[in-house]
Structure 1
Amino acid sequence: MTSRWLLPVVAIGAMGAIAFAALTWREQQRVYHLVLATGGEGGQYFAFGQAFAQLVAQHHPDIQIEVQATQGSPQNMDWLQAERVQLALVQNDTPALPAARGVAKLFPEMFHFVVAKNAGIESIADLRGKRVALMPEGSGSYALFWPLSQHYGLTPNDFQAKSYSPTAAHEALLQGEADALFRVIGLGNGTVAALLQSDRVRLLPIDQVEALRLSLPYVEATQIPKGSYDGGLPIPATDLEVVAVNALLVAHANVDDDVVRRLTQTLHEFRNELIQLYPAAVMIEPVEELPNLGLPLHNGAQAYYGQDQPYFLVEYAEPIGLLISVSLLIASGVWQFRLWLIGRQKNRADMYNLEILDLINRVQETHTLADLKVIRQQLFKILQEVVVDLDIDRISPESFQSFTFPWEVAINTIRHQEVLLSQSQSCPPSTEDNPDA
């Protein structure tokens, strides 16, 4: 490389190194601000969101999660699609919108059907003519009640349904302003436990899960174990057959992949710490393979779940080995061709050099200017041929450089010989050689 190019190249390299270092430093100092849509402030989602945000802050200080109270899953999904939030908690029955990507399955949420003891209600089918307290419109509980009641042959005109906040719904049931209450929530919720302490209400089972799955394919059969809400009485008195949906953590597709990978890692690898902050997290099951969440996985979550899968190099060892072998074979062929080409170029340059040496010998034996002119013409013809060969890569630039030295020696030898011949032919004969002088 010539000196005039060296300084610019060094300068560009230094600028690139500085830019790379600056970008690396900036990335290390970056703080990610995320908003997590949960649910009502007295609900499971909000409590989980606060615990999860605290845990993430402890292990990843560069990820700050703001917990946002909402009306529930449908609103959360809408806000995620609109990028008003970057993370959301939703029930798995919530219709997924295009921007939503799955991160993790959290805990099951049981259908809680609580009725007044004096209301004469033994199942959902007995709600005809009754007053039903529902969760806020827009919540997952509210949305699930209608297909559930339809399965039992009821229409909205068969009963009186009214939406309340969770606290107000519990109070309405206790005060006799409602005959039944329907709520979907994780097991062990404190407000539900307080409600069930009253001797005015009781918790009823919800069965027919296989039939329900015909219209609600996302529900699962589960149990509320005996004594879940009070081990002394106990409440419930026996294992209670109910159905459930799963709570999911979802993220917008645009959230940084590494951030989502670390969120997923925190959720699973620091689960014991999360349980201390939020006991219901004990129901988050360990994941041994890529989970099926009913919507596409986020790339970051997939990177975490797939880390125990065979490495790419191991899984594709045979085709990679074949590719490497073929590449080496091609590279070897290209190298051999290059060596052959370099040798061929050198041989051609050597041929020209030998021709020039032969011309130099002829110059020294030449005694007429006419013969020197012929040799000069041959020398320039060789130069012309060499330049053409250089242009079409029949000789290399290095060979051309080695050619120029003997060529210059030859042209200087011709000039010198011309001078000598010209002087000898222009000098007059001496008097000693002229007998008539």
Structure 2
Amino acid sequence: MKKVLVIGIAIAFGFAVFMGGTPTTVQAETTFVTIGTGGITGVYYPTGGAIAKMVNNKRKEYGIRATVESTGGSVFNVNAVMAADLEFGIVQSDRQYQAWHGEAEWKDKGKQEDLRAVFTIHPEAITLVAADDAGINSIQDLKGKRVNIGNVGSGYRQNAIDALEANGLNFEKDFNAESLKAAEAPGLIQDGRLDAAFYTVGHPSG
């Protein structure tokens, strides 16, 4: 089993819980809300669970009951909140900015100015993890390698692309890019089927 080398890229982001749409009321005395998170093996899912637990501890006082939903991540959560499919969503702050200003994935949809931030949770860093025998000591060493840049709909995929472009690299030309979920990458690196993987995550992280 291979060891891994973690290379931190000096770009950090916070992530926040956003709201939009209208909560669902099934009974007059209880309002049900759903929090969009991320994959069940990531950070967002247990974070959403902790938030829901705090809300539910006060449900008799405020009449609100919260549940969590595993989702594709930041981009999915923004779109689901704006479509009123979710009441709240955990979203990277840079993705919030882009959605609000109608940039990146929201360029065609326009500015998402009905988004509202509720609170910030913690900072995150774009992180590059590599096999110790892959010969990767900097982002430039990714050329010709097998690299996971993240699943479509995740916030960290665009972070990876931005970091690559800032360093003069193109994921479509310079290496073999994979579009896997973050939880899939570590095992593939250890098995020698992947050389490196990007992940935007708070540290410490398992």
TM-score between both structures, scaled by the size of structure 2: 0.75
Partner of 2:59: 60
Partner of 1:123: 138
Distance 2:36 2:147 in 1: 27
**Is structure 2 residue 159 aligned with structure 1 residue 149?**
no
SS of the aligned residue for 1:103 comes to strand
Instruction: State the Cα distance separating 1:85 from its structure 2 match.
Output: 0.5
Instruction: State the Cα distance separating 1:125 from its structure 2 match.
Output: 1.4
Matched letter for residue 159 of structure 2: L
**Is structure 2 residue 170 aligned with structure 1 residue 171?**
no
Distance 1:59 1:52 in 2: 11
Matched letter for residue 89 of structure 2: A
Instruction: Flag as ranges the 4+ runs of structure 1 deviating above 2 A.
Output: none
Distance 1:115 1:73 in 2: 24
Instruction: State the Cα distance separating 1:56 from its structure 2 match.
Output: 1.1
Contact 1:112–1:184 (CA under 8 A) maintained in structure 2:
yes
Partner of 2:88: 87
SS of the aligned residue for 1:144 comes to helix
Distance 2:44 2:184 in 1: 18
Instruction: State the Cα distance separating 1:81 from its structure 2 match.
Output: 0.5
Q: Identify unmatched segments of 5+ residues in structure 2.
A: 1-27, 101-111
Where do residues 80-229 of structure 1 align in structure 2 (5 Å cutoff)?
80-94=81-95, 95-96=99-100, 97-155=112-170, 156-190=172-206
Contact 2:144–2:175 (CA under 8 A) maintained in structure 1:
yes
- Per-residue CA deviations over 1:133-157 (Å, capped at 9, x if unaligned) read 2322110111111111011111121
Distance 1:170 1:137 in 2: 18
Matched letter for residue 65 of structure 1: A
Instruction: State the Cα distance separating 1:59 from its structure 2 match.
Output: 2.1
Contact 2:42–2:183 (CA under 8 A) maintained in structure 1:
no
- Per-residue CA deviations over 1:105-127 (Å, capped at 9, x if unaligned) read 11011222111111111111111
Distance 2:39 2:150 in 1: 10
Distance 2:42 2:183 in 1: 10
Matched letter for residue 162 of structure 1: E
Partner of 1:5: none
Partner of 1:337: none
Q: Which has the higher strand share?
A: 2
Distance 2:203 2:167 in 1: 24
Q: Identify unmatched segments of 5+ residues in structure 1.
A: 1-28, 191-437
Contact 2:31–2:64 (CA under 8 A) maintained in structure 1:
yes
Matched letter for residue 81 of structure 1: M
Distance 2:33 2:177 in 1: 36
RMSD: 1.3
- Percent identity over the alignment is 32
Distance 2:71 2:178 in 1: 19
Instruction: State the Cα distance separating 1:166 from its structure 2 match.
Output: 2.4
Where do residues 189-338 of structure 1 align in structure 2 (5 Å cutoff)?
189-190=205-206
Partner of 2:106: none
- Matched residue count: 162
Matched letter for residue 176 of structure 2: Q
Instruction: State the Cα distance separating 1:98 from its structure 2 match.
Output: 2.3
